Structure 1
Amino acid sequence: MNTELISLILPISIFSIIATITPGPNNILLAHSGAHFGIKKTLPHVMGIRLGMISLQATILFGLGNLFKAIPSLQVILSMLATSYIIMLAIKISRSQPPSLDNKQQPMSIVQAACFQLINPKSWAMLLTASSIFTLTGDLFWPSAILSILLFNTVSIPCAFMWVTVGKMVSKKLQDPVFNKRFNFTMSGLLLLTIPMIFL
């Protein structure tokens, strides 16, 4: 492997850990899903995030970021959609019932989680940053871009499962209606606090 590419491995890995382990819409939703549905049923959610991230990063690398610079109104539309969807998710989370066998609630599917990345402000911020600072010029552009995608998504998986596990650890306490309500309102509130990220 080219020495310039090798020199990118450590900074990309560190960036990926910091970017994906810190609170954001994905991690808050993963913790909530882990608490209400368990680790196994949250697997599609985790895989959907990765699928969405890979697709989004690829489109950014092919020039989608430049399209937003050329047509600023697209960013406004995306921001409004993101805000509306996050508010809707926050309301849904706040009304979640304690997990039980007869519960009709369902975790996010692979497709839902993947599509959510298109309007997730933290995903855009992370991937635009990664795509601009970790890609080399000339013939090394695509090798460095592919390296960035591979490392980012490999490092991100254990970070995601950490949040799912945190949620799973409190799952038994959710049978207590008071704790369930407090947990859901906390998760809902944290999700709403991510909205300002959309307009940064």
Structure 2
Amino acid sequence: MSFEFFLAFLLASVLISVSPGAGAVNTMSNGLRYGVRKSMPAILGLQLGYGAQVIIVGVGLGALLASSEIAFGLVKWLGAAYLVWLGYQKWRQEPLSLEAQQQQDVESGRRRFWQAAFVNLINPKATVFLVALFPQFIVADAPQLPQFLIMGGTLIIVDILVMVGYASLASKLSVWFKDPKHQKSQNRVFGGMFMAAGTALASYSRG
């Protein structure tokens, strides 16, 4: 991959990560409740799901999902249902005291990691997008594995930086959400956003 191609791919990676989506919603929700440092399990979970998507596309399964109505439909509805379920759970979540927040931070880091991983993993729109993106930057007569490694690594590094930025911005607003009423509003706002993301995913068409 030439330097000019890499710069173009880097720009595409930034635009992909900055664009609001389920991953950004997940990160902002965690940033508001837990702060930047304790949002890292969820951010890293997102990258596990993202990396899995890159591998799926790299080994050719992405093309299968893109061409098979049954496979695409199954993954699409699983992803949509999962996001709607996360939104429902967030909508019903009770406000936490500071002590309860600290206790949950210790106990639920692993749970938030896997929740975030599945947010990115069960997302056929991301798979189809990568299937469409990668061929634009692949040099056909050059070894493909190093190219996939460069592109996958770039996507993940950029996404980590962008998600840390989202969490930092959200954490600065956390003082407004210490009050139980504000927390309840926060939960319903982000719950609604998750459910909206799930609904949008369900209506997504490959055309």
Judged with a 3 Å threshold, the aligned counterparts in structure 2 of structure 1 residues 98 and 125 are, in CA distance, closer, same or farther, namely farther
TM-score (norm 1): 0.86
Task: Quote how far apart the aligned CAs of 1:15 are.
Answer: 0.7
The answer for the alignment partner of 2:100 in structure 1 is 102
Whole-angstrom distance in 1 between the partners of 2:81 and 2:136: 31
Contact kept in structure 2, 1:90 and 1:191, CA below 8 Å: yes
Q: Where does residue 174 of structure 1 map in the other structure?
A: 177
After TM superposition, the structure 1 stretch with the greater mean CA deviation from structure 2, 127-136 or 46-55, is 127-136
Alignment RMSD (CA, Å): 2.1
Instruction: Please give the alpha-carbon distance, in whole angstroms, between the structure 2 residues aligned to 1:83 and 1:157.
Output: 24
What letter matches 1:100 in structure 2?
L
Q: Which amino acid aligns with 1:47?
A: L
Task: Select the residue among 104, 127, 130 that pairs with 1:127.
Answer: 130
Q: Provide TM-score, normalisation by structure 2.
A: 0.84
Which of 13, 22, 25 is the matching residue for 2:22? 25
Deviation at 1:159, TM superposition (A): 0.4
In structure 2, what is the equivalent of residue 150 of structure 1?
A: 153
- How far apart in 1 are the matches of 2:31 and 2:3? 36
Aligned length in residues: 197
The alpha-carbon deviation at position 16 of structure 1 amounts to 0.9
Q: Is the 8 A contact 1:52 1:118 kept in 2?
A: yes
Task: Tell me by how many angstroms 1:141 deviates.
Answer: 2.5
Higher mean C-alpha deviation, range 121-130 or range 60-69: 121-130
- CA apart distance, 1:138: 2.5
Task: Tell me which stretches of 4 or more aligned residues in structure 1 moved more than 4 Å.
Answer: none
Letter aligned with residue 186 of structure 2: F
Look up the equivalent residue of 1:45 and give its one-letter code: A
Gaps of 5+ in 2: none
Identity %: 20
Distance in 1 (CA, whole Å) between partners of 2:41 and 2:24 is 14
**Inter-partner Cα distance in structure 2 for 1:170 and 1:121:** 32
Cα pair distance change 1:196/1:112, threshold 3 Å: closer
Q: Following superposition of structure 1 onto structure 2, how do residues 33-112 of structure 1 map, counting pairs within 5 Å?
A: 33-96=30-93, 97-98=95-96, 100-103=98-101, 105=104, 106-107=108-109, 108-112=111-115
Q: What stretches of structure 1 of length at least 5 have no aligned partner?
A: none
- Looking at structure 1, the residues matched to 113 and 67 of structure 2 have their Cα atoms a distance apart, in angstroms, of 31
Residues 192 and 125 of structure 1, relative CA distance in 2, 3 Å threshold:
farther
The equivalent position to 1:196 in structure 2, one of 196, 200, 206, is 200
